[in-house]
Amino acid sequence: MIRVGISPMTPPQVFVDLWPQIQNLYPDMKFKLITFENTLENAREILANLGQNIDVVAGIFDETMLKLRGCDGTEISREPFCVAVSIHHRLAEKKKITLDDLAGENFMLMQRGWSYYGDRLRDDMIRNHPEINIVDFDLYNVEAFNWCENENEVLLAFKSWESVHPLIKIIPVEWDYTMPFGILHSKTPSDKVKRLIKAIRQIK
């Protein structure tokens, strides 16, 4: 039984997609979903103690984030950075946006030090697109999406978060920024988690 932590920011869809192939490899493997709230305390507590109450969490990560949270990750795919906007925002009708479209916008970025790729994007914007106003925030959760919608700002986001907020639209951007997506697990995974990691690598 693999205990999977789920939240609005860490939806279980990847397990739904991989489930038939995992079942073919390990017919005895089962999943139990455990919900948790996206708070700073939970981000620290759950990820630093994977294997105690929760075995794995599906989500985005990179080396900087793994080091910060004291866990490890197994990559499944690379997810492009997108942006989230209110359905009433001037950019909401666009199929794809450019950095020029973001001129004059308040652009919500996780604070420096959270992600290597996020920091690279930040540095690119500061250097080459000073017309975009960067707004720091400290945690991806529903409140960040509420703020984005209520204040009509632009939020760095991922396609897998489309169901987080009914009044938010997620739009691809013409840039080359991506981030690993996969499962987060303990640095010393249990045998059952090792089997899951092995299954994912075989499927990949």
CA-CA-CA-CA torsion for 54, 59, 65, 67, nearest 10 degrees? 40
Residue 204 has pLDDT above 90, yes or no: no
13-71 pLDDT, tens per residue?
Answer: 888 889 899 999 999 999 999 999 888 788 788 989 999 999 999 999 999 999 989 99
Residue 11 has pLDDT above 90, yes or no: no
CA distances to 16, 69, 160 from 44, rounded to whole Å, are 26, 6, 22
Q: How confident is the model at residue 178 (pLDDT cuts 50, 70, 90)?
A: very high
- Show the beta-strand stretches assigned E in the chain: 2-6, 31-35, 56-60, 72-80, 82-86, 106-110, 133-137, 154-157, 168-172, 178-185
Q: Residue 38 has what pLDDT?
A: 81
Q: How confident is the model at residue 149 (pLDDT cuts 50, 70, 90)?
A: very high
60-79 pLDDT, tens per residue?
Answer: 999 999 998 999 999 999 99
Mean of the per-residue pLDDT values of the chain = 94
Q: Residue 6 has what pLDDT?
A: 93
